Amino acid sequence: MKRLARLSLAAAVALVAAGAAHAHHSFAVFFNPEKSVKVTGKVTSFRFTNPHGTVALTVTKPDGKIEEWRAETNAPVILSRRGWTRDSIKAGQTITISGWPSRDGRNYLRLMEARDANGKLIGTAPFGRQDQS
Amino acid sequence: MRFMFAAALALAVTVPAAAEDVPDLTGFWNAPVQAFDMPADLEAKLPPDTVVIADSGAAEFPRGVFGGLKLTPQAAARAETWRAEDDMTLTRACLPPSIVYSVQGPFPFEIHQAPGLLVFRYEYYDQVRLIHTDGRGHPPADAPHSKMGHSVGHWEGNELVVDTTHLASSTITNNGLDHSDDIRMIERYRLTPDGKALEASQWFEDDATLENNGARYIRWGRGNDYVRPYECDPSFALEYQGVIAQDAD
């Protein structure tokens, strides 16, 4: 509840602030290019819409603890040029994702690549910093 | 608006650009992911007190870095208190940036050219821009402002010079520096000698936020593709909000 209240306050502040900013957010501001993160888990959802797609995963740690992770992809207009479709990842599928971690320490990353349970790359090529869209 | 765009496109496809005896910029132009130095002759045409910022294509400035732009005290204070996560809400997730920032973004666009008019159709946020080359001026200062602004153009030799005003306040560098409604932007577009790329200098002045002037150099390779629908979905913000912070780096 406290978190919801904090989010509501942030939304309220955003509404009354100048209408200047936009939310196709900056890679440089949100993600740490000097670090990398890789997790394997079971997909709970996959969204394939702009400005960014998202993959949600349930990750079981070696100690049995469950973590929820999300990966943000490039804009699907970019993904679609690399062989991705809205069916590239399905709920219930086990995948391994790697990328750049969120600077704020959330279980959130910017996707560099995703591989299926057999280690096969999803799409035709991984994504680099030069694809920061 | 839809009618205006349709009319513009109809004009673009019914009258050949060659009738004006100017370079034909028509085509699909790939996302400018690679950065290049501005050619000396384009840089020589920039007004005094201008800094060329190096955030075109893939490059991005992190928080607090503005590439040599000198912020007014008000703009600096705003950038200092700006919180990126405040933009990750349903109400803001699909707000498009103005052309001041998006012109250099890593997305393709296409140009349709006709006598008196060019149409720039951007993939980024499905934005469309009209460049009037029929000699008209800008509308009165109190006319509506928009993210694409009002653009008039003319040819200087092989360069299309575009003057844009009436831009609604938006980001310059996507890290807390926002321009005002009074920003003015001048671009110079031309084909590279081999015709395989389109290049442009972008210059802007905004006394409300900058104590100097800014510029960029952008180059798009000629492509053979289509502008795809962007159709921004604001529910992305809920995905971002749905994760819990652990330990900040």
Contact B246 A131 (CB under 8 A): no
Helices (H), chain B: 2-14, 40-44, 73-81, 99-102, 236-241
Residue B40: Cβ within 10 Å count: 7
- pLDDT, tens digit, for every residue of B79-92? 999 988 888 899 99
Assign B8 a pLDDT band (cuts: 50, 70, 90): very low
Contact B195, B188 (CB under 8 A): no
d(CA A25, CA A102): 12
Mutation test of the interface with chain B: which of A7, A8, A16, A22, choosing the one with the most B Cβ atoms within 10 A?
Answer: A22
SS3 content of chain A, % helix, strand, coil (to 5): 20, 35, 45
- pLDDT, tens digit, for every residue of A87-130? 999 999 999 999 999 998 999 999 999 999 999 999 999 988 66
Contact A78, A131 (CB under 8 A): yes
**Which residues in chain B are contacts of A36 at CB distance < 8 A?**
none
User: What is the β-pairing status of strands A94-101 and B159-165?
Assistant: unpaired
Candidate from B174, B232, B243 with C-beta closest to A51: B232
For B201-248, the three-class secondary structure string (H helix, E strand, C coil) is EEEEECCCCECCEEEEEEEEEEECCCCCCCCCCCCHHHHHHCCCECCC
**Which residues in chain B are contacts of A104 at CB distance < 8 A?**
85, 245, 248-249
Amino acid at B79: A
The candidate with the shortest Cα–Cα distance to B18, out of B114, B103, B135, B85, is B114
| Entry pTM | 0.85
d(CA B98, CA B88): 18
Contact A22 B95 (CB under 8 A): yes
d(CA B4, CA A132): 33
Q: What is the DSSP letter of B155?
A: E
At B51, phi and psi to the nearest 5? -110, 135
pLDDT at B17 over 90: no
**Which residues in chain B are contacts of A77 at CB distance < 8 A?**
107, 123, 228-230
B126 by DSSP, 3-state: which? helix
pLDDT at B14 over 70: no
pLDDT score, position B80: 96
Q: Measure in Å the smallest separation between the Cα of B36 and chain A Cα atoms.
A: 14
What tokens were used for B200?
């442009």
Question: In angstroms, what is the C-alpha Rg of chain A?
Answer: 16
What structural domains does chain A harbor? Answer: 24-131 (2.40.50.140)
Contact B63, B176 (CB under 8 A): yes
d(CA A53, CA A43): 14
Mutation test of the interface with chain B: which of A8, A26, A130, choosing the one with the most B Cβ atoms within 10 A?
Answer: A26
d(CA B118, CA A133): 26
Q: Measure in Å the smallest separation between the Cα of A38 and chain B Cα atoms.
A: 16
The owner of tokens 């492509």 is B223
Q: Given phi > 0 = left and psi -120 to 50 = alpha, else beta, which region is A92?
A: left
Candidate from B57, B61, B236 with C-beta closest to A54: B236
**Which residues in chain B are contacts of A105 at CB distance < 8 A?**
245-249
Q: Is B130 exposed, middle or buried, given 0-12, 13-18 or 19+ CB atoms closer than 10 A?
A: middle
- How many beta-carbon pairs below 8 A join chains A and B? 165
Contact A23 B105 (CB under 8 A): no
Contact A50 B231 (CB under 8 A): yes
C-alpha B150: how far from chain center: 12
Amino acid at A37: V
Assign A22 a pLDDT band (cuts: 50, 70, 90): low
d(CA A8, CA A2): 10
Q: Measure in Å the smallest separation between the Cα of B248 and chain A Cα atoms.
A: 4
Amino acid at B228: R
d(CA B23, CA B190): 8
| ipTM over 0.85 threshold | no
- pLDDT, tens digit, for every residue of B139-187? 999 999 999 999 999 999 999 999 999 999 999 999 999 999 999 999 9
Q: Measure in Å the smallest separation between the Cα of A133 and chain B Cα atoms.
A: 6
**Which residues in chain B are contacts of A32 at CB distance < 8 A?**
249
